[in-house]
Amino acid sequence: MNKHIERMLNQKTAMVGSVADDKPCIKAMLVARREGSAIFYFDSNHGSQRVAHWRQNPAACLYFTSGPIYRGVMLTGTMEIIDDMETKKIHWTPMMKNIYRGGITDPDYCILKFTATSGRYYHMYESTNFDL
């Protein structure tokens, strides 16, 4: 994989896209963990608007950018909502108690797992598609 793409995928923040009522929606989210180039995890809550979107339609995308020379990487794939306690334990930090008052067993706390199937890299007025 291109070293520039790899560097962008290491960023702590990703623009995360979902689909609701046939309309694209996007927001910035902190990347909690990454496995290789295709799997990204995010901490979230069951009551969030995004989780509701992915319950209806698991289609998702991530977008990363860098500068000062503009580069962009979009990954497309699916988002899975995970409640597995072992996965939650991997992600849990004491600071999260401020958000999830019930701790790691708080019923609102969940993990989102994004699995990419393909990507598109933009640099210097050119775009290149790639598979993962």
- pLDDT value at position 17? 97
The whole-model pTM stands at 0.93
Give the integer Cα–Cα distance in Å for 131 and 107: 36
Instruction: Give the rounded distance of the alpha carbon of 102 from its chain centre.
Output: 24
- Residue in the structure block whose two tokens are 């608007």: 49
Beta bridge partners of 23: 20
Q: What are phi and psi of 62, to 5 degrees?
A: -120, 145
| Residue pLDDT tens, the chain, 132 long | 788 899 999 999 999 999 999 999 999 999 999 999 999 999 999 999 999 999 999 999 999 998 788 899 999 999 999 999 999 999 999 999 999 999 999 999 999 999 999 999 999 889 999 988
Full set of structural domains in the chain with CATH:
3-131 (2.30.110.10)
- pLDDT value at position 39? 97
- pLDDT value at position 4? 85
- pLDDT value at position 1? 72
Instruction: Give the rounded distance of the alpha carbon of 25 from its chain centre.
Output: 13
- pLDDT value at position 107? 94
Tokens of 112: 């989102």
* CB-based contacts of 28, cutoff 8 Å, min separation 6: 13, 14, 15, 16
CB-CB contact of 41 with 34 (8 Å): yes
CB-CB contact of 16 with 62 (8 Å): yes
Tokens of 127: 């775009």
The closest alpha carbon to 82, from 32, 118, 131, belongs to 32
